[in-house]
Amino acid sequence: MTETAALVIGATGGIGKAIVAELEADGHYDQIIALSRRSNPRIDLLDEATIAETADWVEKQDLRIELVLDATGALTLGDKKPEKSLRELEPQALAKSYAINAIGPALLMKHFLPLLPRDGKSVFATLSARVGSISDNKLGGWYSYRASKAALNQLVKTAATELARRKPEAICVALHPGTVRTPLTEGFAKSGLEVQQAEFAALRLLSVVDSLTPKHSGGFFDHLGKPVGW
């Protein structure tokens, strides 16, 4: 019998590392493949060749890929913090935010969605953010991050529509992990928000993944499994 596998991309980040640990402890999958810029093979979202080469390597392992979880993303870019006003917009920072938060995950979908099995449940989930919701935007600011995550949500929705034609039991979703205590969120957690430890966030996210069915494909859900408005 072909072994089952879960892939975690961004496995050295705070959430990604916690997800790998939880998957390994759970034992549901025969193999857990942790991928990052430092893994072998490696994945660099800014270099499509690394994505294509790693996807090709995974395909050659003859595994049943039942979960691909993309835990990548960037809020700050070097010394550039989220913009508070239009005056702070810089085209280079905006383009890099799109490259990491939208284009990179889109390329992951391009190369990894074809690896999902033709029958039975499988899931591709990428970490979006509630601030990417246009309807939920009441505060403004954070232009690059908001816009890049909104773009990611549209890419997920579009990819899910195409995926359903070929693999009706496969699921492609965007997930909002909540505010998690990691280097990405350090200094940005607002008072009154629940700040989760990465291990707890991983448990919640994997619980949501377990609850998904094909009718949820193309959706955007938070860490409690509740739909987030576009």
Which CATH number goes with the domain that contains 99? 3.40.50.720
* Chain segment 88-143, per-residue pLDDT in tens: 999 999 999 999 999 999 999 999 999 999 999 999 999 999 999 999 999 999 99
pTM to 2 decimal places: 0.94
pLDDT at 190 (0 to 100): 54
Tell me the residue range of the domain where 181 lies. 4-222
Average pLDDT on 201-215 reads 97
pLDDT of 31 strictly over 70? yes
Is the distance from CB of 167 to CB of 117 less than 8 angstroms?
Answer: yes
pLDDT greater than 90 at residue 78 = no
The residues, ordered by sequence, that sit 6+ positions from 116 with a Cβ below 8 Å of its Cβ are: 65, 66, 68, 122, 124, 163, 167, 170
- Summary mean pLDDT of the chain: 94
158, exposed or middle or buried, with CB in 10 Å at 0-12, 13-18, 19+? middle
CA 54, chain centre distance (Å): 17
Q: Is residue 227 part of a domain?
A: no
80 forms bridges with which residues in the sheet?
Answer: 77
**Is there a domain that residue 123 lies in?**
yes
How many domains would you assign to the chain?
1
pLDDT band at 79 (very low <50, low <70, confident <90, very high): confident
Q: Assess if residue 228 is contained within a domain.
A: no
pLDDT at 194 over 80: no
**Per-residue pLDDT at 142:** 97
Strands (E) located in the chain: 4-9, 31-35, 64-70, 122-127, 170-176, 179-180, 195-196, 220-222
230: in domain: no
Q: Please determine, for residue 183, whether its predicted confidence score (pLDDT) is greater than 60.
A: yes
Question: What local confidence, expressed as pLDDT, does residue 100 receive?
Answer: 98
Residue 114 placed within a domain = yes
Separation between Cα atoms, residue 46 and residue 157, nearest integer Å: 22
